Structure 1
Amino acid sequence: MADPWQECMDYCMEVTKQAGSMIREALQKDIVVMQKSSPVDLVTETDQRVEELIISSIKAMYPTHSFIGEESVAAGAPSILTDSPTWIIDPVDGTTNFVHRFPFVSVSIGFTVKKVIEFGIVYSAIEDKLYSARKGKGAFCNDVPIKVSGQEDITQSLVLTEMSFREDPEHFNIMMDNMKAVLNIPVHGIRTTGSAAVMMCFVASGAADAYYHIGIHCWDMAGGAAIVTEAGGVIIDISGGPFDLMSGRLIIASSQAVAERLANEITEFPCERDDTEVINDDPDQ
């Protein structure tokens, strides 16, 4: 039986490459920076132009499909995941990196049908690394198969996370305490790149063993979730329960044992779901 969504994925790969080229070209020019919800919550003309390119290109080919895009949601569009074929788009994952020309900036696209992620694509544009995964068909980087490290010992693990501004001092303190708790397990270390999608791909390719984040968005993780899963990784909620794409939180790991140990160490704090009326952007994404 033919794969009904492979054509969508093949088309998306080409659009993603165009978006990456737009990002690289923009880095050669002056970057116009605007502020969204706070002085560290940034958006650029490139974020908006890249999302417009992606959505207009895909709409022209698939006019009945639905879209959830970071900049569209910021402008007031709904962020509701339905059973309809849906493209979940982060045009520039790592906007702060882009502004500073820090070399981890990605285009992230996930595609869902009946709320199930069918494929994901993450293009680390400056590195020129195109990660992709189709459900049931494995994960790849520049067409070379990738897989997680398989590490099951948390004390032998390199862990990734995101450090970001929190207006609520209690939430900020919990975020910092979580890092202390993880380091005191002990683990080999904690790293961050400023692009959630890239960090998920690092775990998928075995360059790191785990990643956790509270306050992430569906457009940050939809593409990476497909890639991690197809690379043999584990994705769970911060609580240790099932992964929920719209929840704003996740743990991914090279093994169930590492994922569960992180869930036991991390203290939760509230974050907005993506399928609510108000979306508060994570300033580092």
Structure 2
Amino acid sequence: MASQIELDRYYEFVMKLTMESAKVIRDAFQGGKNIETKAGDWDLVTQYDRKVEEILIAGLAKEFPNHKFIGEETVSSNNFLPPLTDAPTWIIDPIDGTTNFVHSFPHTCISIALAINKQLELGIVYNPILEQMFTARRGRGAFLNGKPIVSSNVQELGSSLVCIEASYATIPEIRDVILGRLEAFVSIAHGIRTLGSAALTLCHVAMGAAEAYHTDNLMPWDVAAGVLIIREAGGVVIDTSGGEFNVMNPKVLAVGNHKLAQELVKLIKHADNKTQQKRLAAMQ
């Protein structure tokens, strides 16, 4: 187990590194970017994603040579997702919301989490364009620019602002599932939002600006920091099915409180049943 003194040191060092690497994003935000695709047309990467990740991993590896890393660009280039072990492991998304970044849409951020003994210990989500610094340490609460944040206690779906990542509907195999769930949310919720950055959307739930966020098609680096920030803000993160959340296979249902979380689990199951019935009918 890491001592509080060690955790303080990790936190202070990574905060400095975050601010340093954020300059890359800020300086490049309005300029031209070399763009490539990864998993599909909706999954973009720029030279800046790689540059930010290099700064973060090189800095952390030099300071903490025994630590491990799960970084988006490193995993993408190796085509291999390493397992999460008990060793101190930094889970890094250098630019979450790359499509937003490419379009100069200001919802883009750096997301960094540290897990020790497979438990999330610290989380940082920093939007250098809007200068929003979300932070959390296990057992110490969650903060936006140093001020405590608390998740929403709204318990009625009809009064809730719900965030969903609709862009995954571009993937043919899961389009009907995504649109079925979206239709279910639209017909009941107070409003629907799609921000294009999982890490920042999780932080919006943590600060009570939205009641819930749901998406199934993410990777550990998209969510690790935001999950800790929500939990430290008093919110709930569970698996879409209602079970325990697995950061290495994240099917995300992030909600301000337990009661609303259970309502959403029921709604998603109902929507998926309708989608399944439509699929069966189409086959007959």
Q: TM-score when scaled to structure 1?
A: 0.90
RMSD of aligned alpha carbons: 1.5
What do the CA deviations read for 1:70-101 (whole angstroms, capped 9, x no partner)?
00000015431111100000000000001000
Moved more, 171-180 or 6-15: 6-15
CA shift in 2, pair 1:167/1:100, >3 Å = closer
Query: What one-letter code is carried by the residue in structure 1 that aligns with 2:63?
Result: M
Take 2:130 and 2:164, find their aligned partners in 1: how far apart are those partners? 20
Change (3 A) 1:266 1:49: same
Aligned to 2:199: 197
Identity over aligned residues, as a percent? 40
- 1:74 aligned partner: 76
Counterpart of 1:100 (choices 74, 83, 103) is: 103
The aligned residue for residue 92 of structure 2 is: 89
Are the counterparts in 1 of residues 94 and 111 from structure 2 also a CA contact under 8 Å? Answer: yes
In the TM superposition, what whole-angstrom CA distance separates every residue of 1:118-142 from its partner, at most 9, and x where no partner exists? Answer: 0100001211110000000010011
Give the unaligned 5+ runs of structure 2.
Answer: 273-284
The aligned counterpart of 2:276 is none
What's 2:44 paired with?
A: 42
**1:26, distance to aligned residue in structure 2 (A):** 1.1
Structure with the larger helix share: 2
Letter in 1 for 2:99: T
State the shift of 1:43 in Å.
0.6
Partner of 1:125: 128
Structure possessing the higher radius of gyration over alpha carbons: 2
What does residue 206 of structure 1 align with? 208
Does the C-alpha gap of structure 1 residues 165 and 212 become closer, same or farther in structure 2, counting only changes over 3 Å?
closer
**C-alpha separation in 2, matches of 1:222 and 1:37:** 20
- Pick which of 221-230 and 71-80 moved more: 71-80
Partner of 2:151: 148
Paired position in structure 1 for 2:141:
138
Equivalent position SS for 1:108: strand
Candidates 154, 159, 164, aligned match of 2:167? 164
Q: Deviation string for 1:35-94 (max 9, x for gaps)?
A: 223233211000000000000010110011000000000001543111110000000000
SS of corresponding position for 2:6 = coil
Instruction: Supply the distance in 2 between the matched residues of 1:2 and 1:9 (Cα, whole angstroms).
Output: 10
- The one-letter amino acid paired with 2:217 is G
Q: Distance in 2 between matches of 1:210 and 1:165?
A: 18
What is the CA-CA distance between 1:170 and the residue it aligns to? 4.3
Corresponding residue for residue 16 of structure 1: 18
Structure 1 residues 263 and 101: alpha-carbon distance in aligned structure 2, compared to 1, 3 A threshold: same
Give the Cα–Cα distance (whole angstroms) in 2 for the partners of residues 235 and 152 of structure 1: 15
For 1:174-253, what aligned pairs fall within 5 Å after superposition? 174-184=177-187, 186-253=188-255
Distance 1:78 1:214, change over 3 A: closer
What amino acid is the match of 2:233? A
Unaligned runs of 5+ in 1: 270-285
SS in 2 for 1:117: strand
| Separation in 1, partners of 2:4, 2:88 | 17
- 2:275 matched to which residue of 1? none
State the shift of 1:2 in Å.
3.7
| 2:57 paired residue among 29, 36, 55 | 55
Aligned AA (1:182): F
Q: Partners in 2 of 1:232 and 1:96 — Cα distance?
A: 30
Higher relative contact order (CA 8 A, sep 6+): 1
Distance 2:179 2:49 in 1: 29
Structure 1 letter corresponding to 2:65: P
Distance 1:56 1:166 in 2: 36
Aligned residues of 2:111 and 2:126 also touching (Cα < 8 A): yes
Work out the CA distance in 1 between the residues paired with 2:58 and 2:160.
42
CA contact (8 A) 2:159 2:190 kept: yes
**TM value normalised by structure 2:** 0.90
Give the letter aligned to residue 88 of structure 2. P
Instruction: Give 1:28 shift.
Output: 3.7
Return the offset for 1:161: 1.1
